A and B are shown apart, each in its own frame.
Chain A
């Protein structure tokens, strides 16, 4: 909610790029800088990267996660930590905070028994797991993750989230997920309690946020959507962040008439 009027949409400025780049780099550099949080920081949004033997350039991915945090702090009131931790799924570190991101391109390796047990414990505590399938064929990765999740939460099954789901209105009003990929597909969710705790994306969201080599531009061009699609990807990332922090807040009845009117105005 806000008490002020909002400026009309503008494109990505040079200054914004620099800020975002700086933030992303800071996140990558700070790496495991844990335990040095200021007052008000321990509850800040903090995406952590799950190291599940998926390989890939984790430095770039961490930079993308740092940019995610930056976008959240720049656009919303939510505090975020720009540092990005990498956690092992079988370690107790996993249970320290309620958000972890599992990303990859290739089919993931089987989780160890201890990792399965720990992930189950993590979800039992109410943690959120965001899975981002990357590359040109994200389905290979997400299909493998779903198999692994079948071992972690065999009682649950993934369900496609409808357009009316709170994820698409937690800050911006969106029609669906957007990332680097041309076909963003849908978001699958595992509801373990009242809320969806596992979100599976096949839109390569981190790919859209990933900074380029040397901090110039972005690592991957977006075609055919260009900067408009990248903006939508950033907005989707912000919505994901808000969903992690506020869960179903925007489903509260008090918001319903406002959101209904705005949805009707949007073509």
Chain B
């Protein structure tokens, strides 16, 4: 194909200027002629000279192009949210299956187009053959932006396959969508294909929202919205909220009846969580709907990160000593601790020689403390108190349950602590990291300097103390005799010589040990002399800081302070049943110790499952691939080297948030198509979409100037000369 080109080397604006200049010259000559000052000959020579001069500058040429017609490039965007596992119009067929069929149908209907398919969700576009990852959201805006940003040939059309429940564009208003996306598309039409039009029969927990942050011991409100398909009644539906516990049954938190609203029903439930950290709560409908096509959204499992406003600690001491003084001073020095103390200041044998009114003593409210108020504490410190004399024994079952439910417990040694105080063979022994001897020598009065174990050296809990003192520790004037450490316990300090009480195996007696039990943690310290870390030689060496850093570590570990955890753990993406899930583990900087991961189900007493790995690393993170997990709450324990394990709680759901609203949204797809110059069709009518025209692909282009350059310039110069002579003859300038 050949065509004439006015100029091949000048930009269009320059060509325009030259043509305009020639035309203006001719007009001026015409005006001169009509004013009677010029002659026709002068007009013709001058106009011809100007025109030839313009052509000399433009240098017109013949241009020949050759090429071929190619199929038009078309990008197909397939909704990758796992919401597409929901039923489509035809029973037993998922929207995902409809999308596959529609994609094939489009390929057949548009043989003249080159289709490239991508899956879009809440992240980067992925190839249709890539392994599927769970995706809650369907971010079409981001997907289109990514398509337009790709290098190479721009698509001639986009086709979106979705059920319409898009997260963006959020508005169904065509004008708003056009304003946002239209300029970037530059006329490329976006067609939309609906994968479903029918609402499945469903009653669901459509949304659960929290007002504010969850603070331990403080009530917060869960705003719960129920959704019902057409013809299903949502009102008067009872909703329950419960917390999944480790090693025990779920704990009921709240229940209420939903009231009807504009679209479905809703209710607010006030919930109080006492334990901090990740907690899994289940929000569930109390009854099931006969014929419910999406039963998995009748309940939601949510992981709530419960923060702590202030750490509320109960400190009970059997008698006032310098050790009690030092611990109280530490606890009082921390403004974030809400301390409740009870010290036994008088025993039955003491003779105060005064009436009750002369004394400042108050009764020890043991029953009130360990029944009504116990759940309000984040941690309980029992320091050298005789459980028999002061009525603690009868509350040990509650204290045991308190720890299993997530509370923290520290037992501090002394002449009336542990076995000497009647703790052996009681329910509290179940949650201690050590076994307690019931008979024989219960305390030892010979001096001991505790020795660090391998775990003790690795534990972040004691890093502060070891950073100041190395392995040195003060001599303690005796200790409570301990039995064997329990299987899952970790011993940080041990007796340098003596073995555990009542044990014949080759091991050292634990003096500082800790354990995770259920949701809680406990520590056993069989010594009463840690105050020596704040005074004397050790106090001087640490500038009085030794005692503080020890207890900061112990209490911090008990309260799951991240500073004292050996690893930080998180899920790579929400855990959705049927999709691969992975835990990402980051170790403390500089720590390359091996990592072990165990998973146990909340509410079940079954054995923990060990996760092999890591399967790979992502920068500084180690990725551990989780096995196929059924829906529920889980606790992962991650152990780095010999350090105490870090615990991470998470939930796995069938569908989760993506399945909460099962209704397709056809109007949204229609609005997108209308706004972006495309058409909307249902999946079974995909062949009705207008096929894009073929694209001309240029293969060769050649240019041939019309004559040599002097062909224009020489006649122009000659005519200009004639014109000049004529003008002089007429007396014109």
Contact = CB atoms under 8 A, between A and B. Distances in A.
A binds B: yes
Q: Which of B354, B528, B531, B544 has the most CB of A within 10 A?
A: B354
Given A6-B359, A127-B535, A39 B318 contact: no
Interface stretch (B34-42, B343-351, B557-565, B608-616): B343-351
A180 to B, nearest CB: 19
Given A9-B358, A74-B351, A96 B324 contact: no
A196 B480 CA distance: 34
B540 A95 contact: yes
Nearest to B328: A247
A242 interface: yes
Interface in B473-511: 476-479
Contact of A246 (B328, B415, B540): B328
B445 A97 contact: no
Of all A-B residue pairs in the complex, the 5 with the closest CB atoms, nearest first, are A39-B478, A43-B321, A245-B320, A40-B415, A43-B322
Contact of B444 (A39, A98, A121, A254): A39
A259 B325 CA distance: 22
B319 interface: yes
Interface string A33-71: 000011111111100000000000000000000000000
Interface in B327-344: 328-329, 332-333, 339-344
A243 to B, nearest CB: 10
A5 B391 CA distance: 16
Interface stretch (B90-98, B302-310, B360-368): B360-368
Interface residues of A, number: 60
A44 B321 contact: yes
Contacts of A195: 329
Given A9-B355, A39-B445, A244-B325, A79 B364 contact: no
Contacts of A242: 320, 345
A215 interface: no
B544 A245 contact: no
Contacts of A40: 321, 384, 414-415, 477-478, 528
B323 interface: yes
Interface in B282-307: none
Contacts of B169: none
A132 to B, nearest CB: 21
Nearest to B478: A39
A181 B249 CA distance: 67
B357 interface: yes
Interface string A223-267: 000000001000100000010111111101011001100100110
Main secondary structure of the interface of B (DSSP, over half): loop
A127 B535 CA distance: 8
Contacts of B347: 77
Contacts of A265: 357
B41 to A, nearest CB: 113
Interface in B521-552: 528-529, 531-532, 534-537, 539-540, 543-544
Nearest to B531: A43
Contacts of B543: 124
A258 B390 CA distance: 20
Contact of A75 (B318, B353, B539): B353
Given A39-B477, A126-B544, 7 more contacts: A1-B361, A6-B354, A43-B529, A74-B351, A92-B537, A172-B352, A194-B332
29 contacts: A2-B359, A2-B363, A3-B364, A3-B391, A4-B346, A5-B356, A6-B359, A7-B353, A9-B353, A10-B353, A39-B443, A40-B384, A40-B414, A40-B478, A43-B325, A74-B351, A75-B353, A77-B319, A95-B535, A95-B540, A125-B540, A172-B352, A172-B358, A242-B320, A247-B328, A252-B339, A254-B362, A255-B360, A258-B360
A206 B332 CA distance: 31
Contacts of B531: 42-43
Nearest to B536: A96
A38 B445 contact: yes
B350 A77 contact: yes
Contacts of A10: 353
A43 B528 contact: yes
Nearest to A248: B332
Contacts of B344: 1-2, 77
B342 A1 contact: yes
Interface of B: 318-325, 328-329, 332-333, 339-348, 350-364, 384, 390-391, 414-415, 443-445, 476-479, 528-529, 531-532, 534-537, 539-540, 543-544
Contact of A172 (B318, B322, B354, B444): B354
B362 A258 contact: yes
A171 interface: yes
B351 A7 contact: yes
A95 B546 CA distance: 14
Contacts of B414: 39-40
Contacts of A244: 325
Interface string A178-209: 00000000000000001100000000000000
Contacts of A103: none
B491 to A, nearest CB: 20
A37 B528 CA distance: 12
Contacts of B478: 38-40
Q: Which of B348, B477, B531 has the most CB of A within 10 A?
A: B477
Contacts of B351: 7, 74-75
A7 B346 CA distance: 13
B20 to A, nearest CB: 89
A113 B558 CA distance: 44
A174 B273 CA distance: 43
Contacts of A124: 543-544
A29 interface: no
A231 B352 CA distance: 11
Contacts of A172: 352, 354, 358-360
A82 B107 CA distance: 98
A76 interface: yes
Given A39-B444, A43-B529, A125-B539, A173 B325 contact: no
Given A6-B355, A39-B478, A40-B478, A170 B321 contact: no
